[in-house]
Structure 1
Amino acid sequence: MSGQIHQTDVAVIGAGPVGLFAVFECGMLKMQCHVIDALESTGGQCAALYPEKPIYDIPGYPAIDAADLVQKLEAQAAPFKPVYHLGEQVEKLTANGERWLLETNKGTRIDARAVIVAAGVGAFGPNRPPMEGLEQYEGKSVFYLVKRKEDFRGKRVVIAGGGDSAVDWALALHGVAASIQVVHRRPKFRAAPESAARLEQLSKSGGIDLVTPYQLHSLEGQDGQLTAVNVATLEGEVRRLEADVLLPFFGLAMNLGPIAQWGLNLDRNHIAVTPMDCATSTPGIFAVGDIATYPGKLKLILCGFSEAAMAAHAIHPLVHPGEVLHFEYSTTQGVPAA
């Protein structure tokens, strides 16, 4: 292990959209940040799971692809020269007087006055459907995420699931895939009402086939390439769907990893915070974004942005004690050149 210890004002754990915006908010308050993320690139779930998926609830953007949003957030944070430690996981977080020492699995050590945990859902992986022989198709014709819509052009696609991911990708791949069949165990979908309405409309016009109420049953194919997906009702009635690709969207298995051992007040694998400043039960540690919880919490990126701003303002007196913060709007304060 190197003897070097990086000194910074704020350590941000997580380089997803909310973590990147936290860098900007801290920078506007003259606080330097080091950012650590277990993924090899910035963007969190947006970059790893759905870079081409449009996001509709970012103010000022009727629609913006996840990858574009991440790129713009990186550019917004760039003037404040954040230091990124990507492909590293924070394994230890220990008190060092009024400061915190973070140690990663690669031996990087960071000394910070405050910590912002913006780790999203923590370490994540797909919930796999319990199907015999599934492994031989994974990565070849069964995929748990879509990185490039073009990879599915002209393919017969079966999507399984009833939540936002299943519905959104059915809509996004319409016009790209040769056919789309959406399998769900009940006729009603747990997606945003407007998206569910668009799916229903495409179903009536013949653009998408809704296969309800069915569940995944078995797979047909050879050498990792699907030829059909068999589905069944609860009564055992089996239906064969010709397919080149299966996209099962049954959510993510969430694992907080080392975060669970840091003595923070946890609530169902989330970190409980005070809504006014996103402070955790441990002084100097804050949590924002999907990993944070409080009464009335909404898991929206825009809410995470607001939480990042509140946390940054709460951290300011810790980094600059005794300094009066004359808050100014960015329109009057301006942003330093990158």
Structure 2
Amino acid sequence: MSSTFHRTDVAIIGAGPVGLFAIFECGMLKMRCHVVDALDMVGGQCTALYPEKPIYDIPGHPSIDAADLIDRLAEQAAPFAPTYHLGQQVEKLERTHEGRWQLTTSVGTVIDAQAVVVAAGVGAFGPNRPPLDGLAAYEGTSVFYMVRRKQDFAGKRVVIAGGGDSAVDWTLSLADIAERVYVIHRRPKFRAAPESVARMDALVRAGKVEMVVPYQLSGLEGADGQLTGVRVATLDGQEKTLPADALLAFFGLSMNLGPIADWGLNLDRNHIHVLPPSCATSAPGVFAIGDIASYPGKLKLILCGFAEAAQAAHAIHPLVHPGEALHFEYSTSKGVPGAA
């Protein structure tokens, strides 16, 4: 047996917020978990893309930064001693002769589990890059597709390109600390929460944000990876240059399910179709929760993913503990390991 072989009750693919909560739900039902994620940290998009972005629809938290949410979820899962396999991708998912599942990762880790929970979010993701000459020379130094620390942009001239929630949200967050914020969009209408757009409009009227509409990115100016200006143009060819130290380009993410697409699951437009009561997929013993799961009436909200984690855990229990009656108990009466 290889030293990288592990046997467990449940293997969870994805260490984002929903995957982390699945550890807790499985743990409350006395099921051990191993968790695999391609990122070298837990948290998924919350950690990789917007750790300092506030989230407003988590019950009990009027506002909580994404990174803080992940910290709390990891703390909540900790009493159940999950084993994390980070920085590796599940490449194979195969049924064993015992009727269990065997996962093999990109670094050779093998996990044998009774059940599998796919909480892979949108799968592998990467930014949609604007088609600008010389773009690569500035990436990571003055051109960014995500904000890890908003303080990195304090006192800088920041150009934000895009018309969705990310562009508007970071405009609101950076307006008070950046020297100047420019927002580039090809039309006056934004695809973002109306309340956020209204707050951005107020900043424009107050002179804290300059709206550059209707313009699109057309070029970059600078040297040695450091921007000095961003060129923009209208569709009829009018051009101008905005003085800039940094460009934040928010044109969405390109999604790739990767090996998941080859596992024989019932895919529906790059999502896995599941049965709502249990989140079961077309493969016995494999469940999908969170953004990757699809069913009629599905809402892509973290809080819905939390509920799906509970549903999947209860559906898995008879597979891990056959013949054992499951008497539902509230956590207030049951408690958690190590709690007083």
Q: Where does 1:260-271 land on structure 2 (aligned, <5 Å)?
A: 260-271=261-272
Matched residue, 1:134: 135
Matched residue, 2:27: 27
Matched residue, 1:235: 236
Note the alpha carbon deviations across 1:64-114, whole angstroms, 9 max, x for none.
Answer: 111111111000001111111111111110001321000111111111010
TM-score w.r.t. structure 1 length? 0.97
Matched residue, 1:64: 64
TM-aligned CA deviation for residue 180 of structure 1 = 0.6
How many residue pairs get aligned? The number is: 338
TM-score w.r.t. structure 2 length? 0.97
SS at match of 1:267: coil
TM-aligned CA deviation for residue 191 of structure 1 = 0.9
TM-aligned CA deviation for residue 265 of structure 1 = 1.1
- Between the aligned residues of both structures, percent identity stands at 72
Q: Where does 1:1-338 land on structure 2 (aligned, <5 Å)?
A: 2=2, 5-96=5-96, 97-337=98-338
After superposition, the CA RMSD in angstroms is 1.2
Structure 2 unmatched ranges of 5 or more: none
Whether contact under 8 Å (2:4, 2:108) holds in the other structure is no
TM-aligned CA deviation for residue 207 of structure 1 = 1.6
TM-aligned CA deviation for residue 239 of structure 1 = 2.3
Whether contact under 8 Å (2:220, 2:229) holds in the other structure is yes
| Structure 1 Cα separation of the partners of residues 70 and 179 of structure 2 | 30
Q: Letter of the 2:119 partner, please give it.
A: A
| Structure 2 Cα separation of the partners of residues 45 and 263 of structure 1 | 26
Whether contact under 8 Å (1:158, 1:181) holds in the other structure is yes
SS at match of 2:143: coil
TM-aligned CA deviation for residue 214 of structure 1 = 1.2
- Relative to structure 2, which stretch is displaced further, 1-10 or 282-291? 1-10
Whether contact under 8 Å (1:143, 1:247) holds in the other structure is yes
Q: Letter of the 1:281 partner, please give it.
A: S
| Structure 2 Cα separation of the partners of residues 102 and 197 of structure 1 | 48
| Structure 1 Cα separation of the partners of residues 216 and 278 of structure 2 | 44
Judged with a 3 Å threshold, the aligned counterparts in structure 2 of structure 1 residues 83 and 3 are, in CA distance, closer, same or farther, namely closer
TM-aligned CA deviation for residue 2 of structure 1 = 2.4
Note the alpha carbon deviations across 1:114-149, whole angstroms, 9 max, x for none.
Answer: 000001111111100001111111111101111111
Note the alpha carbon deviations across 1:228-285, whole angstroms, 9 max, x for none.
Answer: 1111111111122111100000111111111111001111111111222111111111
| Structure 2 Cα separation of the partners of residues 210 and 270 of structure 1 | 36
Q: Letter of the 1:15 partner, please give it.
A: A
TM-aligned CA deviation for residue 5 of structure 1 = 2.6
| Structure 1 Cα separation of the partners of residues 307 and 233 of structure 2 | 45
SS at match of 1:22: helix
Q: Letter of the 2:309 partner, please give it.
A: A
| Structure 1 Cα separation of the partners of residues 142 and 5 of structure 2 | 46
| Structure 2 Cα separation of the partners of residues 20 and 74 of structure 1 | 6
Whether contact under 8 Å (1:2, 1:107) holds in the other structure is no
Q: Letter of the 1:104 partner, please give it.
A: T
| Structure 1 Cα separation of the partners of residues 89 and 300 of structure 2 | 23
SS at match of 2:10: strand
| Structure 2 Cα separation of the partners of residues 165 and 335 of structure 1 | 37
| Structure 2 Cα separation of the partners of residues 88 and 286 of structure 1 | 20
